[in-house]
Amino acid sequence: MTTLGVNIDHIANVRQARKTVEPDPVQFAFLAELGGADSITVHLREDRRHIQDRDIFLLKETIKTKLNLEMAATKEMLEISKKLLPDYVTLVPEKREEVTTEGGLDVKSNVNYLKNFVGYLKDSNIQVSAFIDPLNEQINYSKEIGFDFIELHTGKYAELKGYDQYKELQRIIESTHEANSMGLIVNAGHGLNYNNVEKIASIDNMNELNIGHSIVARALAVGLEKSVREMKSLITQN
């Protein structure tokens, strides 16, 4: 059965917009687990634009499911992850100027560096995933480097429509089978929402989907009316 990893970065985005204490992603991780999240995903960015160091250490102490730390393959992040010991690390490319992770990690161009990096994480018993585009050569190199998992980038699938989207779906299906046959566990994510998730979730041996933005957007849609009613009631009762 495919499981759900809930990415709570966007809760932290709202907090950081005011640099205050709410909404606290740690508390919302608890609610995500109540809703059935099988893991909690956070991306600790170099510029700390949303998730903070404090969040990941509190999450590690408080969540009951699994912690998936997304990070760039840098020395700073290696040190942090070896202290944190999350259940797994997903290596992602990171550019300061991007709004969100744009493409997959180019594992092919960084084989030796990544072999060492993944080795250091595995020495600390952390399982490691590579967020890659659904391309055969990236899958082959992920296997060679020693990743336990890959996370297939579904951003393009999410953006495309009609026959183009169908072709991208076939590419993701073939990539999943290819990676599975090499012994890699396959996750997927990026841009998945309430309209496009089912076709990806029903791929044979799809392990876990990591979803953030659409879930947080839906939380606003289903929760805003109640929160306005509560405020209105406080204002009008006097």
Catalytic residues: 43, 70, 190
The number of residues in the chain equals 238
What's the min distance (Å) between Cβ of 132 and ligand PXP? 10
What's the min distance (Å) between Cβ of 40 and ligand PXP? 12
Candidate residues 151, 179, 200, 206; the one interacting with ligand PXP per rule CB under 6 A: 151
Interatomic CA distance for residues 172 and 50, integer angstroms: 29
What's the min distance (Å) between Cβ of 70 and ligand PXP? 5
What's the min distance (Å) between Cβ of 187 and ligand PXP? 8
Q: Lay out the site mask for ligand PXP across 1-40 (x = CB under 6 A, - = otherwise).
A: ------x-x-------------------------------
Interatomic CA distance for residues 59 and 30, integer angstroms: 9
Of residues 156 and 190, the one with the C-beta less far from ligand PXP: 190
User: Sign (positive/negative) of CA torsion 123, 130, 26, 52?
Assistant: positive
Q: How far does Cα 131 stand from its chain's mean position?
A: 9
Of residues 131 and 147, the one with the C-beta less far from ligand PXP: 131
CA dihedral 131, 133, 113, 94 (to 10 degrees): -60
Q: Lay out the site mask for ligand PXP across 92-111 (x = CB under 6 A, - = otherwise).
A: x-------xx----------
Find the DSSP H helices in the chain.
9-18, 25-34, 53-62, 75-84, 111-123, 136-145, 155-159, 162-181, 197-201, 213-236
Mark the segment that binds ligand PXP (CB under 6 A) among 79-87, 134-142, 161-169, 190-198.
Answer: 190-198
Q: The tokens 């990893």 sit on which residue?
A: 5
What's the min distance (Å) between Cβ of 214 and ligand PXP? 6
Per CB under 6 A, 147 contacts ligand PXP = no
Mark the segment that binds ligand PXP (CB under 6 A) among 114-122, 187-195, 199-207, 221-229.
Answer: 187-195
User: Sign (positive/negative) of CA torsion 102, 142, 175, 36?
Assistant: negative
Which tokens go with 121?
A: 């994480």
Of residues 221 and 235, the one with the C-beta less far from ligand PXP: 221
Of residues 222 and 234, the one with the C-beta less far from ligand PXP: 222
Neighbours of 82 (CB within 10 A): 14
Nearest to 118 by CA among 106, 130, 109, 108: 130
Residues near ligand PXP (CB under 6 A): 7, 9, 43, 70, 90, 92, 100-101, 131, 151, 189-192, 210-214
